[in-house]
Amino acid sequence: MRLLFLGDIVGRTGRNAVTEQLPGLRERYKLDLVIINGENSAGGFGITETILNDLIDAGADCITLGNHAFDQKETLVYIERTERLIRPINFPKGTPGRGATMVKAKNGADVLVI
């Protein structure tokens, strides 16, 4: 399996680099799965739904979050319906979203992302 994990995409510059380069990287390296840490993609403070969709459209299979998961308050609304966006698993019980998700890789394998 060919996996690419891009850590800590920060701000517009980071997002632009990913959206411009990821489609070519997926093709060139025949990537089966792409995971991106997007917790700082909104100017260093969380992620918005628009940014999430842009990263997925560029070829990300799953977006992880960290301690800045809910810096953008709108995340509290859409995280429940977005299976490919995961918060840290060690957040307190009752925190919106999920700490793990199963993703289908391009090669057909099921991959658990935590």
Q: What is the mean pLDDT of residues 76-99?
A: 96
Q: What is the pLDDT of residue 63?
A: 98
Choose, from 15, 22, 31, 68, the residue flagged as catalytic: 68
Q: How many Cβ atoms are within 10 Å of 79's Cβ, its own excluded? A: 22
Q: How confident is the model at residue 111 (pLDDT cuts 50, 70, 90)?
A: very high
**Total number of residues shown for the chain:** 114
Q: How far apart are CA 109 and CA 23, in angstroms?
A: 20
Q: What is the pLDDT of residue 40?
A: 96
Q: How confident is the model at residue 66 (pLDDT cuts 50, 70, 90)?
A: very high
Residue that has been written with the tokens 């990287």 in this structure? 25
Q: What is the mean pLDDT of residues 60-86?
A: 95
Q: What is the mean pLDDT of residues 10-24?
A: 97
Clarify whether 68 is annotated catalytic: yes
**CA neighbor of 86 nearest in space, from 65, 70, 58:** 65
Residues paired with 62 in a beta bridge: 35
